Structure 1
Amino acid sequence: LAVSPMGEILNTPTFGLCIHVVVELDEPVDIFFSDAKKTISELLSQSPRFSSVPIMKDNGVVQWKETEVNVDDHVFVPQFPPHLTSYDEYVEEYVSNMLLRKLSPSRPLWEFHFLNYKTTNGEAIMIVNVHHMLGDGASLVALARAYSTRPSHNPTLSQTLISSTSHHTELPAQVHKIRSLDTTWFGFD
Structure 2
Amino acid sequence: LAVSPMGEILNTPTFGLCIHVVVELDEPVDIFFSDAKKTISELLLSQSPRFSSVPIMKDNGVVQWKETEVNVDDHVFVPQFPPHLTSYDEYVEEYVSNMLLRKLSPSRPLWEFHFLNYKTTNGEAIMIVNVHHMLGDGASLVALARAYSTRPSHNPTLSQTLISSTSHHTELPAQVHKIRSLDTTWFGFD
Q: Same fold (TM over 0.5)?
A: yes
Which residue is equivalent to 2:154?
Answer: 153
Please list the CA deviations of residues 27-71 of structure 1 after superposition, one character each: whole Å capped at 9, or x if unmatched: 000111011001110211111100000000111100000111100
Change in Cα spacing, 1:176 to 1:161, as seen in structure 2 (3 Å) is: closer
Q: Percent identity, please.
A: 100
The 8 Å contact of residues 149 and 160 in structure 2, kept in 1 or not, is answered as no
Offset at 1:151? 6.3
The 8 Å contact of residues 162 and 172 in structure 2, kept in 1 or not, is answered as no
Change in Cα spacing, 1:90 to 1:63, as seen in structure 2 (3 Å) is: same
The number of residues matched between the two structures is 189
**Aligned partners of 1:154, 1:128: CA distance in 2, in Å?**
30
Offset at 1:173? 1.8
TM-score (structure 2 length as normaliser): 0.88
The 8 Å contact of residues 24 and 127 in structure 2, kept in 1 or not, is answered as yes
Instruction: After superposing the two structures, state which structure 1 stretch, 142-151 or 160-169, moved more.
Output: 160-169
Change in Cα spacing, 1:147 to 1:165, as seen in structure 2 (3 Å) is: closer
The 8 Å contact of residues 148 and 163 in structure 2, kept in 1 or not, is answered as no
The 8 Å contact of residues 152 and 168 in structure 1, kept in 2 or not, is answered as no
**Aligned partners of 2:107, 2:169: CA distance in 1, in Å?**
38
Change in Cα spacing, 1:73 to 1:57, as seen in structure 2 (3 Å) is: same
1:95 is paired with a residue of what secondary structure?
Answer: helix
Change in Cα spacing, 1:161 to 1:136, as seen in structure 2 (3 Å) is: farther
Offset at 1:152? 9.5
Offset at 1:149? 2.3
Note the residue ranges of structure 2 that are not aligned, 5 or more in a row: none
Change in Cα spacing, 1:155 to 1:37, as seen in structure 2 (3 Å) is: farther
**Aligned partners of 2:165, 2:45: CA distance in 1, in Å?**
27
Please list the CA deviations of residues 79-100 of structure 1 after superposition, one character each: whole Å capped at 9, or x if unmatched: 0000000000000000000000
Offset at 1:175? 2.4
Which residue is equivalent to 1:77?
Answer: 78
Offset at 1:17? 0.3
The 8 Å contact of residues 152 and 167 in structure 1, kept in 2 or not, is answered as no
Please list the CA deviations of residues 123-178 of structure 1 after superposition, one character each: whole Å capped at 9, or x if unmatched: 00000000000001111001111223276999999999999999987654222211
Runs of 4+ in 1 over 6 A off after TM superposition: 150-170
Which residue is equivalent to 2:90?
Answer: 89
Instruction: After superposing the two structures, state which structure 1 stretch, 175-184 or 65-74, moved more.
Output: 175-184
The 8 Å contact of residues 163 and 170 in structure 2, kept in 1 or not, is answered as no
Q: State the superposition RMSD in angstroms.
A: 4.6
1:6 is paired with a residue of what secondary structure?
Answer: helix
TM-score (structure 1 length as normaliser): 0.89
**Aligned partners of 1:44, 1:156: CA distance in 2, in Å?**
29
Change in Cα spacing, 1:36 to 1:122, as seen in structure 2 (3 Å) is: same
